[in-house]
C-alpha cells in the first residue's frame, strides 16, 4: 500500500531530494510548500499520511506547524528534519507532535529508515 506525503521545506533542493528518495519507495507526493503557512494550508487541503517538515522556515517555524497539524490530525505521521543538532530543539519537535527527527544532511538510507517505521516501503533497486 502506498502512502501520500507532503514536504514542507524552504530549500528546493531538499524537497527534490526527498521526492526522489520516496518516489522509488512507494510514496506519492501530493504537494510541497516553502514556508510554514503554505505548509499548513497544503496539509489541510491534501490530508496526507505523512508530513516531512523542516523546522527552520520563514513565516511559521516547523515546531509551530507540527503542533497545528497534530491538533488537526492524530493519525498523520510527522518527520521533522533540521540542521539543528540540539537536544532541546529535538525535544520541542517531539513534544509538538513530530514522530521522528532527521538530522540534515541526511542520507537516502536514513530517510527510508524513518519512513519505514510507519509505512511499508518498496524498493525499485534494493542494494543495501
- Note the pLDDT of residue 124: 54
Give how far the C-alpha of residue 103 lies from the chain's centroid of Cα atoms, to the nearest Å. Answer: 12
Tell me: pLDDT of 33 over 70: yes
104: left (phi over 0), alpha (psi -120 to 50) or beta: beta
For the domain spanning 3-116, the CATH number is 3.40.50.2300
- The per-residue pLDDT for range 38-92, each reduced to its tens digit, is 999 999 999 999 999 999 888 899 999 999 999 999 999 999 998 877 788 889 9
pLDDT of residue 123: 63
Coil, helix or strand for 102?
strand
Average pLDDT value over all residues in the chain: 90
pLDDT at 76: 97
Which is higher by pLDDT, 126 or 69?
Answer: 69
- State the DSSP string of 54-99: ESS-SSS-HHHHHHHHHHH-SS-EEEEEES---HHHHHHHHHHT-S
Amino acid at each position: 500500500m502506498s502512502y501520500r506525503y507532503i514536504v514542507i521545506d524552504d530549500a528546493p533542493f531538499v524537497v527534490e531530494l526527498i521526492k526522489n528518495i520516496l518516489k522509488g519507495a512507494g510514496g506519492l507526493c501530493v504537494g510541497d510548500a516553502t514556508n510554514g503557512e503554505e505548509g499548513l494550508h497544503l496539509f489541510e487541503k491534501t490530508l496526507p499520511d505523512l508530513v516531512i517538515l523542516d523546522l527552520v522556515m520563514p513565516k511559521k517555524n516547523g515546531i509551530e506547524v507540527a503542533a497545528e497539524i497534530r491538533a488537526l490530525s492524530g493519525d498523520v505521521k510527522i518527520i521533522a528534519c533540521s540542521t539543528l543538532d540540539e537536544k532541546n530543539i529535538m525535544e520541542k519537535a517531539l513534544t509538538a507532535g513530530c514522530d521522528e527527527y532527521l538530522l540534515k544532511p541526511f542520507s537516502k538510507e536514513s530517510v527510508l529508515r524513518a519512513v519505514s517505521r510507519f509505512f511499508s516501503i518498496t524498493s525499485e533497486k534494493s542494494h543495501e
